[in-house]
Amino acid sequence: MTRLRHIGFLLFDDLTQLDFTGPLQVLNRIPGATVHLVARQQGPVRTDCGPFILADTDFANCPQLDLICVPGGWGIDQAMEDDATLDFLRRQAAGAQYVTSVCTGAFILGAAGLLDGVKATTHWRYHSALPRFGAIPVQARVVRDGSVFTGGGVTAGIDFALTIVREVFGEGLAQAIQLGLEYDPHPPVDCGSPTKASPAILDAVDSQFAPRWDAFLRVVDRLTG
Amino acid sequence: MTRLRHIGFLLFDDLTQLDFTGPLQVLNRIPGATVHLVARQQGPVRTDCGPFILADTDFANCPQLDLICVPGGWGIDQAMEDDATLDFLRRQAAGAQYVTSVCTGAFILGAAGLLDGVKATTHWRYHSALPRFGAIPVQARVVRDGSVFTGGGVTAGIDFALTIVREVFGEGLAQAIQLGLEYDPHPPVDCGSPTKASPAILDAVDSQFAPRWDAFLRVVDRLTG
């Protein structure tokens, strides 16, 4: 059970906290695994819900990870252009067994050159930008392409992490973790993907994303232009 | 949209982090709401995944909350016997519109006398103990009884929070938040409740809980004699 001894999450300011706290809850239950919360600097990281997360290690002191997971959030715009972050990712990816992302974290992997020719997914609103980094977009909640696992938006991180546990350790451990976390979802509304949303709801959510999307595309243009 | 101006999560050592980070992600998206992470003392709180959460206020400095949410975890054993915690909860509950819990957080509400005669749910493994605090156990992922909402184990907190949003603000806001969080769950295994688990998996998970359950029952015995 020690095939994933060191599991690390990349933290950066303005990440979406559930992108990483969901998979953290699942992967932390792998017997023998140690989880590392790694950022440019140890200490508080600002999330979309407030500055309430503490990174426990920095890039220089993080051990070689067996699995690295990159969450998403508005802060990807800065992280995608941060050389220290991209260097850290490339260095870790060279030695890791699994390189993974949740939500728009895929674009930080992309900016580091780690999705070229790789089948991948991301948050539905950002899906169309995957080819800008050479990724092959797949409409799925979780996508595996060799050693690269990517998850869809935010809550997809829970399905993503259980998929990793199942593929690496087998059905039994995935089931036991799922039962412990009582993960038998029953959303009280049924609007979790754009195909299920009314035009009015889709417009409302889309208009929240629009200014962020434009800023993101300017970053993508600079990186790939 | 300001009917829930102040939303607070009670934090305590050895809580299960997704019990609160799941609903936090949902409730933080209510327009006009301010979320408070409140503990005995400001600063780091130890969770089952490490000491990586920072409480932003203490009991004395927390404003009157419109909604208070109590997560669960192994640390309930201590919290249920902590007078400062129970006094804080009773004081807040007297002025709050909604008193809520996720997972075994229900038992901290119970220890504070807030579930007497109230229909409630909790983590499946702890469900049978609800009547010890006068609660009326209901087998459901989310239960509402008047101003009291309770959720089942860990991941139920996401369904719980969307249920609150729907009941307080209507279907539209719940749908928009769900779509933004891409909450269209597709667990890769189907073992999220004891009725779905094989005897072998149920035994394995049950044996992990057994020593904790015994310690918990000793606390319950002291409190309810």
Q: What is the mean pLDDT of chain A?
A: 97
ipTM for the complex?
0.96
Contacts of B172 in chain A (CB under 8 A): 200-201, 204
Interatomic CA distance for residues B146 and B119, integer angstroms = 9
Q: Does the distance separating the beta carbons of A175 and B188 come in below 8 Å?
A: no
Q: Out of B181, B191, B193, name the one closest to residue A153 (CB).
A: B181
> Nearest C-alpha of chain B: how many angstroms from A187?
5
Kindly list the distances between the CA atom of residue B177 and the CA atoms of A50, A214, B65, B142, B158, in Å, as whole numbers in the listed order.
18, 21, 22, 18, 11
Interatomic CA distance for residues B114 and B116, integer angstroms = 6
- Catalytic residue numbers of A, as ranges: 103
Task: Please tell me the predicted confidence (pLDDT) of residue A225.
Answer: 80
- As a whole number of angstroms, the longest Cα–Cα distance in chain A is 49
Q: What is the mean pLDDT of residues A3-17?
A: 97
Domain-embedded: residue A165: yes
> Nearest C-alpha of chain B: how many angstroms from A114?
24
Q: Does the distance separating the beta carbons of A171 and B183 come in below 8 Å?
A: no
User: What is the rounded end-to-end Cα distance, in angstroms, of chain A?
Assistant: 44
Domain-embedded: residue B153: yes
Q: Does the distance separating the beta carbons of A48 and B181 come in below 8 Å?
A: no
Give the pairing type, strands B67-70 and B43-47: unpaired
Q: What are the residue ranges of helices labelled H in B96-198?
A: 106-111, 156-169, 171-180
Domain-embedded: residue A155: yes
Identify from B34, B191, B206 which residue to disrupt to test chain A contact, counting A C-beta atoms within 10 A and taking the largest count.
Answer: B191
Domain-embedded: residue B24: yes
Tokens matching residue A224: 């790939």
A52 SS3 class: strand
Note down pLDDT in tens along chain B; length 225 residues.
458 999 999 999 999 999 999 999 999 999 999 999 999 999 999 999 999 999 999 999 999 999 999 999 999 999 999 999 999 999 999 999 999 999 999 999 999 999 999 999 999 999 999 999 999 999 999 999 999 999 999 999 999 999 999 999 999 999 999 999 999 999 999 999 999 999 999 999 999 999 999 999 999 999 998
Q: Does the distance separating the beta carbons of B124 and A182 come in below 8 Å?
A: yes
Interatomic CA distance for residues B49 and B42, integer angstroms = 19
Of B49, B69, B103, B191, catalytic: B103
Kindly list the distances between the CA atom of residue B110 and the CA atoms of A76, B106, B131, B216, in Å, as whole numbers in the listed order.
42, 6, 9, 13
Task: Name the residue of chain A whose CA is nearest to B181's CA.
Answer: A154
Q: Does the distance separating the beta carbons of B56 and A56 come in below 8 Å?
A: no
b/e burial code for range B97-114 (CB count within 10 A of at least 16 → b): ebbbbbbbbbbbbbbbeb
Task: Name the residue of chain B whose CA is nearest to A123's CA.
Answer: B182
Tokens matching residue A85: 């972050």
A146 and B160 in contact (C-beta within 8 Å)? no
> Which CATH number do you get for residue B75?
3.40.50.880
Q: Does the distance separating the beta carbons of A52 and B188 come in below 8 Å?
A: no
Q: Out of B51, B159, B200, name the one closest to residue A186 (CB).
A: B159
> Edge-to-edge strands of the sheet including B98-102?
B57-58, B34-39, B6-10, B67-70, B98-102, B148-151, B142-145
B103: annotated active-site residue? yes
Kindly list the distances between the CA atom of residue B196 and the CA atoms of A156, A179, A182, A211, in Å, as whole numbers in the listed order.
22, 9, 11, 44
A95 SS3 class: helix
Interatomic CA distance for residues B178 and A153, integer angstroms = 11
Domain-embedded: residue B207: no
Strand segments (E) across A103-222: 119-120, 136-137, 142-145, 148-151
Q: Can you give the pTM of this predicted structure?
A: 0.97
Contacts of A28 in chain B (CB under 8 A): 48-50
Interatomic CA distance for residues A38 and A61, integer angstroms = 9
Tokens matching residue A31: 């017997």
Domain-embedded: residue B118: yes
Q: What is the pLDDT of residues A166-209, one digit of tens each?
A: 999 999 999 999 999 999 999 999 999 999 999 999 999 999 99
Contacts of B104 in chain A (CB under 8 A): none
Domain-embedded: residue B17: yes
Give the pairing type, strands A67-70 and B136-137: unpaired
- Which residue segment(s) compose the domain that A147 sits in? 6-186
How many other CB atoms are found less than 10 A from the CB of residue B76?
28
Q: What is the pLDDT of residues A135-144, one digit of tens each?
A: 999 999 999 9
Task: Please tell me the predicted confidence (pLDDT) of residue A1.
Answer: 44
Q: In the predicted model, is pLDDT for residue A59 greater than 70?
A: yes
Q: In the predicted model, is pLDDT for residue A2 greater than 60?
A: no
How many other CB atoms are found less than 10 A from the CB of residue A134?
15
Number of folded domains that form chain B:
1
Q: In the predicted model, is pLDDT for residue A75 greater than 60?
A: yes
> Nearest C-alpha of chain A: how many angstroms from B104?
12
Domain-embedded: residue A199: no
| Residue among B107, B106, B63, B97 at smallest CA distance from B217 | B107
